[in-house]
Chains A and B, each alone.
Chain A
Amino acid sequence: MPQNRSPLLDDSLIRAAVRRALDSVEAPPVEESWQRFQSRRTAASARRPRPWSRYAALAAALLLVFCGGYGAYRALISGNFNHALLMDQESESAEILAAEPAGEREVSDSAAPWPDFAGWSPLQPSREAAQQLPQALDGYTLDTAYTREAQSGITYLAALYKGKEQEPLLWVQAGTASPDQFFADLEQLLQLPVEETAADGEAPSTRLAVGSRPAFSWEKDGRRHLFIDLSGHSSPTELQRLAPR
């Protein structure tokens, strides 16, 4: 009768063969191995992570997720998330903002992005126009200028200035507009919320936040003016110092 099972080797035979097989292995000298073991153990203990490091890494990761999630949430509830993604890449103001070093921008993630100048017309160079634009702003040079008529029928002028480090500053001016009308028109023209943060008593100047960016408004010669620091670096008080007397 054919036998399919392999016969099993005898226990004592296996024992003898296993011992002979393993005992015949030549190991390195123990003394040398002990020296190498000592240095290896020292290196291993230096590499071993501290018990708290795992928890610290976990806490850091959770904080990162929380902050990222909170920023995204703020962007969503302020309604500017899609706007930020779809912002016109060709607009000059957007290019200026994009050219800013990321580390230097102090505007929070929730700050509204600057809109393009859709609907505004470039201001043709003329003597009259030149007289209306502030020419000598401390540390800033004129870049481009626009004009547009608001629904109120008031004509607005806007000029974009660049600082020494290309930080953008926007100047807006309207003739014969009350402060309330001026701010209402700004919201319509710039599509950004305008919030009064402080008014200087009887003085016709106001500190503002336009799209979460610092702004300063003042009246001079019957015309209302506004500075908006698009980089978000300056405070309204610093903008006030820029305003021509």
Chain B
Amino acid sequence: MEPKRVGQLVRQNDQAAQRELFEAFYHRTYAVVYTVLRSRESAEDITQDAFIKAFQNMGQLREPEKFGAWLAVIASNLARNYLKREKKVIYCDELPVLETVGANDTEEQAVGNLEVEQMRRALRALPPDQYQVIILQYYFDLKIDEIAALLKLNEGTVKSRLFRARAKLSRILEPFAAADGLTCKGGAGGNAAKSQPFTGR
């Protein structure tokens, strides 16, 4: 959905506008929550709570065009609170290995599924504050200053969180990156950054 249209709907904020926003942002918000909680039922409840909270506090949103990212922040905060309340601490290494490779998958699909699952595991391993900035930058395409404004942080804090998050993701994905010929930057010997597909195929 175009940012301009999002802004219009946010300002309108009636039943019809809310429904359109819900339909436009439900999947992305659910995905952000599900990646943290790993439970479909809880993810659905938290996502709906996030929409309720967002619609009730629409007046606090300074840039209506950023509704999706704002909603994701609300949803990830609710997910974090839910984990605290339920005292569920999910450690990356303790996650059950999911059946990501189906019997009928082609080799390409199977490799792709494994990558996706590995990335999800890596994202779940991030602390909540780092997970938020990664999602906002790479999933919602926000710039550093926009993330800082949304989270009410200074830009330096956002940069350091992003750096730590990237370092942690790199550590987790390093073995896979090495096996697949993944290109990294800032490594030993000043290797130049090269953008390649995740699998190196």
Contacts and interface: CB of A to CB of B under 8 A. Distances in A.
Contact of B186 (A7, A19, A25): A7
A124 to B, nearest CB: 73
Contacts of B26: 27, 30, 33-34
Given A22-B31, A33-B26, A13 B123 contact: no
Interface in A1-51: 3, 5-25, 27-28, 30, 33-34, 36-37, 40-41, 44
A27 B166 contact: no
A40 B41 CA distance: 14
Interface string A193-231: 000000000000000000000000000000000000000
B148 to A, nearest CB: 18
Contacts, number: 127
What size tier do the contact residues of chain A reach?
20 to 34
Contact of A7 (B112, B185, B194): B185
B23 A9 contact: no
B167 to A, nearest CB: 6
B70 interface: no
Contacts of B182: 9, 13
Contacts of A27: 26-27, 30-31, 34
A28 B44 contact: yes
Contact of A9 (B30, B49, B135, B170): B170
What size tier do the contact residues of chain B reach?
35 or more
Contact of A30 (B22, B45, B55, B135): B22
A8 B191 CA distance: 11
A21 B119 contact: yes
Secondary structure call for the A interface: helix
A21 to B, nearest CB: 4
A14 B47 CA distance: 24
Contacts of B198: 13, 16-17, 20
A30 B27 contact: yes
Contacts of B177: 9
B49 to A, nearest CB: 8
Given A8-B187, A18-B138, A25-B30, 16 more contacts: A5-B167, A6-B167, A6-B174, A6-B187, A7-B174, A7-B186, A7-B188, A10-B183, A13-B183, A17-B198, A21-B116, A25-B34, A27-B31, A30-B22, A37-B22, A37-B52
Interface of B: 19, 22-23, 26-28, 30-32, 34-35, 40, 44-45, 47-49, 51-52, 55, 112, 115-116, 119-120, 123, 134-135, 138-139, 166-167, 169-171, 173-174, 177, 182-189, 191, 193-198
22 contacts: A3-B188, A5-B167, A5-B186, A7-B184, A9-B166, A9-B169, A9-B184, A13-B196, A17-B115, A18-B123, A18-B138, A19-B139, A20-B112, A20-B198, A21-B120, A22-B28, A25-B30, A28-B40, A33-B22, A34-B26, A37-B48, A41-B48
Give me the 3 closest cross-chain CB pairs, A-B, nearest first.
A7-B187, A7-B184, A3-B188
